[in-house]
């Protein structure tokens, strides 16, 4: 089954304790992306990746890191989480249309993170 | 600054009604406009629009883009309770850079 998976689905942690949220897709998509969703603010892009070893900042990259060592995986790293990073996080992946534009994106189930 | 604005933010209607959701945008380097439906979990893809004036249709849902007015509408006819969700509009600026609107929360009452 074609899907995007994220782990963990729920996480409660404390300020400053490094954490990683994993994202994996089995559709051989070139593009992957991370979003956070907050009430009243909608979905905001954190980082995206156009292919292996190619990543770029989205609109809210501060406090986050990503890596793309393999095509299928795109982990999101919070080196020193803070309470303002409490949010619902989504990973997404998409195909390339061949013109440099991403086709529709498929979203993972989400990770609800609480930082105390 | 790139911006996507959806209206209304919230809408409550009765089953069987027809609804129209709006999305207007101010972005540089427009590539396509996408609509997503979000129920209790991840957004699911509905439509991608790239050309002005061409309607995309899927069952009771349809959408059209107006590049001159920098806007798009999503229509849902004969609404059902299962249509209750948040509807998200997003602009693609190339590659995977997406800018989302705040979403419209649609509630269909039986």
User: Tens digits of per-residue pLDDT, B69-99?
Assistant: 999 999 999 999 999 999 999 988 766 678 8
∠ CA B103-B108-B110, rounded to 5° = 170
> What pLDDT is attached to residue B19?
98
Q: Which of A33, A44, A110 sits opposite B42 (nearest CB)?
A: A110
A67 touches chain B (CB under 8 A): no
Query: What are the tokens at A96?
Result: 């390339």
Assign B107 a pLDDT band (cuts: 50, 70, 90): very high
B100 touches chain A (CB under 8 A): yes
Per DSSP, the three-state class of A45 is strand
Distance of residue A101 Cα from the nearest chain B Cα, in angstroms: 4
A45 touches chain B (CB under 8 A): yes
B48 touches chain A (CB under 8 A): yes
Which residue of chain B has the CA closest to A55? B96
Distance of residue A78 Cα from the nearest chain B Cα, in angstroms: 21
Per DSSP, the three-state class of B82 is helix
Supply the mean pLDDT for chain B: 91
> What pLDDT is attached to residue A55?
93
Query: What are the tokens at B97?
Result: 């850079």
| C-alpha span between A43 and A36 (Å, rounded) | 6
> What pLDDT is attached to residue A85?
97
| C-alpha span between B104 and A87 (Å, rounded) | 19
Question: Do strands B44-49 and B32-38 pair parallel, antiparallel, or not at all (unpaired)?
Answer: antiparallel
Question: Do strands B10-14 and B104-109 pair parallel, antiparallel, or not at all (unpaired)?
Answer: parallel
Q: Is 90 exceeded by the pLDDT of residue B13?
A: yes
Chain B residues with CB-CB distance to A94 below 8 A: 96
Query: What are the tokens at A20?
Result: 């990683």
Q: Which residue has the higher pLDDT, B26 or B78?
A: B78
State what percent of residues in chain B have pLDDT above 70: 97
B40 touches chain A (CB under 8 A): no
Q: Is 70 exceeded by the pLDDT of residue B12?
A: yes
Residue-wise pLDDT tens digits, A57-115: 988 999 999 999 999 999 999 999 999 999 999 999 987 666 555 567 889 999 999 99
């Amino acid at each position: 089954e074609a899907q995007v998976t994220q782990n963990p689905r729920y996480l409660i942690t404390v300020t400053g304790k490094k954490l990683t949220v994993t994202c994996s897709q089995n559709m051989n998509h070139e593009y992957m992306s991370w979003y956070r969703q907050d009430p009243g603010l909608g979905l905001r892009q954190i980082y995206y990746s156009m292919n292996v070893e190619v990543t770029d900042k989205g609109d809210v990259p501060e406090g986050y890191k990503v890596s793309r060592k393999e095509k299928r995986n795109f982990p999101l790293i919070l080196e020193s989480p803070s309470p303002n990073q409490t949010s619902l996080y989504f990973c997404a992946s998409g195909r390339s249309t061949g013109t440099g534009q991403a086709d529709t994106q498929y979203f993972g189930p989400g990770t609800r993170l609480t930082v105390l | 600054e790139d911006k996507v604005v959806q209206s209304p933010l919230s809408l409550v209607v009765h089953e069987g009604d027809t609804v129209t959701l709006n999305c207007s945008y101010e972005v540089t380097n427009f590539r396509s406009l996408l609509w997503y439906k979000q129920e209790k979990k991840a957004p699911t893809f509905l439509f991608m629009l790239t050309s002005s004036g061409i309607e995309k249709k899927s069952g009771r849902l349809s959408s059209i883009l107006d590049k001159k007015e920098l806007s798009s509408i999503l229509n849902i006819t004969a609404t059902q309770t299962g249509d209750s969700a948040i509807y998200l509009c997003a602009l693609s600026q190339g590659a995977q850079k997406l800018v989302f609107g705040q979403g419209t929360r649609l509630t269909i009452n039986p």
